[in-house]
């Protein structure tokens, strides 16, 4: 036993000389136990940010045993593809919320201008048909008609702001607001805090084109079937979702084909899809599509996604488009 104690003392002396003073001060010996031919020394070290635990197996005899160290760390951050997957899955609920918010603003503006009677207010009548087409709950229509008649409620005005992101990517922010000063101040604050930069009007917009778009989940249709329907209906293009080798198969349920068309044949394409029994994603049918995309690195992609997410969190913002690939 005395030999074992001397070995422990020698080990502790060597340990204290081999580590920094700050670390040696933080070592707390928990328990020393004798088990057969080995002495197990348990120690813990805690810092302000994390705790690390390690154990050493120290033999009594002079035979050389391997030293075992066990360390625990915080989980690693998700990689680029994992972030994309999580972003796509979480974006669907946010997209639905924004859709309801935007149609509500349009209803308020229509009622403010032409009154709550759809017979005399043709703009409101067309919005009611749009609500039915997009499968928007009836209570949203009724609530916003009532809100438009309340005292102090102003009509909403549509604005567009342009933003420089990271890695050469650009963004277009669509806003519907009843207080322009409030909306522009909120957008500027988010852009500044996230390290972006407000762009002059027209600096980013020329990189995009406005198009009617029908979104269809890749799991709801065969590619060849969709191409045939789109060509027969006179669609301009069918954009396939990006596919990555390391994406899991279940993520395909959150990927969409985009049928790009004109305002004239938009209804024809929807009719064709209904006839074939193909479900399409209800939306407002209009998007800004980048004419060319910009390839950015992983860091720029993450920073741009954070900026876009915070912009979409603003109540006045209806949509954010980017040419980031």
195 in a structural domain: yes
The total of structural domains in the chain comes to 2
Please tell me the predicted confidence (pLDDT) of residue 6.
56
The verdict on 290 and 253 lying in the same domain is: yes
The verdict on 318 and 270 lying in the same domain is: yes
The verdict on 15 and 87 lying in the same domain is: no
The verdict on 28 and 85 lying in the same domain is: no
Q: Say which CATH number the domain at 308 has.
A: 3.30.70.980
The verdict on 20 and 86 lying in the same domain is: no
295 in a structural domain: yes
Please tell me the predicted confidence (pLDDT) of residue 307.
96
The verdict on 21 and 86 lying in the same domain is: no
Please tell me the predicted confidence (pLDDT) of residue 38.
39
Please tell me the predicted confidence (pLDDT) of residue 98.
82
Please tell me the predicted confidence (pLDDT) of residue 29.
40
164 in a structural domain: yes
The verdict on 85 and 42 lying in the same domain is: no
| Other beta carbons less than 10 A from residue 191's beta carbon | 22
The verdict on 87 and 32 lying in the same domain is: no
The verdict on 164 and 307 lying in the same domain is: yes
The verdict on 26 and 161 lying in the same domain is: no
Please tell me the predicted confidence (pLDDT) of residue 13.
54
The verdict on 18 and 86 lying in the same domain is: no
pLDDT (tens, 9 = 90+) of the chain, 325 residues, equals 555 455 445 555 555 454 444 444 344 344 344 434 333 443 333 444 444 434 444 444 444 445 544 434 333 444 444 445 444 555 566 777 888 888 899 999 999 989 999 999 999 998 898 888 777 888 999 999 999 988 888 889 999 999 999 999 999 999 999 999 999 999 999 999 999 999 999 999 999 999 999 989 888 888 899 999 888 888 899 988 865 444 545 455 568 889 998 888 888 888 889 888 898 876 666 889 999 999 999 999 999 999 999 999 999 999 999 999 8
Please tell me the predicted confidence (pLDDT) of residue 197.
96
122 in a structural domain: no
136 in a structural domain: no
**Domain boundaries, position 189:** 81-91+156-322
The verdict on 294 and 176 lying in the same domain is: yes
66 in a structural domain: no
214 in a structural domain: yes
124 in a structural domain: no
């Amino acid at each position: 036993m005395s030999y074992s104690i001397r070995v422990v003392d020698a080990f502790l002396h060597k340990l204290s000389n081999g580590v920094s003073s700050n670390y040696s001060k933080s070592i707390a010996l928990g328990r020393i136990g004798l088990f057969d031919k080995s002495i197990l020394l348990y120690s813990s070290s805690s810092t302000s940010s994390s705790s690390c635990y390690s154990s050493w197996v120290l033999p009594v005899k002079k035979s050389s045993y391997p030293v075992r160290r066990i360390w625990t760390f915080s989980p690693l951050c998700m990689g680029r593809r994992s972030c994309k997957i999580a972003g796509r899955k979480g974006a669907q609920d946010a997209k639905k919320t924004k859709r309801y918010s935007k149609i509500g603003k349009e209803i308020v503006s229509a009622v403010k201008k032409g009154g709550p009677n759809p017979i005399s207010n043709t703009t409101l009548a067309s919005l009611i048909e749009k609500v039915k087409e997009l499968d928007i709950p009836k209570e949203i229509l009724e609530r916003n008609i009532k809100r438009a008649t309340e005292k102090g409620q102003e009509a909403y005005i549509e604005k567009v702001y342009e933003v420089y992101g990271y890695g050469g990517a650009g963004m277009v922010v669509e806003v519907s607001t009843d207080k322009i000063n409030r909306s522009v101040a909120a957008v500027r604050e988010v852009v500044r805090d996230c390290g972006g930069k407000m762009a002059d009007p027209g600096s980013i917009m020329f990189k995009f084109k406005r198009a009617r778009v029908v979104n269809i989940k890749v799991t709801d249709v065969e590619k060849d079937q969709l191409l045939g329907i789109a060509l027969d209906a006179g669609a301009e293009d069918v954009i396939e979702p990006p596919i990555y080798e390391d994406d899991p198969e279940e993520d395909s349920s959150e990927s969409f084909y985009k049928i790009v068309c004109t305002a004239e044949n938009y209804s024809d394409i929807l009719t064709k899809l209904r006839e074939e029994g193909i479900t399409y994603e209800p939306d407002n049918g209009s998007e800004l599509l980048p004419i060319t995309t910009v390839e950015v690195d992983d860091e720029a992609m993450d920073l741009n996604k954070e900026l876009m997410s915070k912009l979409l969190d603003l109540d006045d913002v209806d949509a954010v488009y980017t040419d980031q690939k």
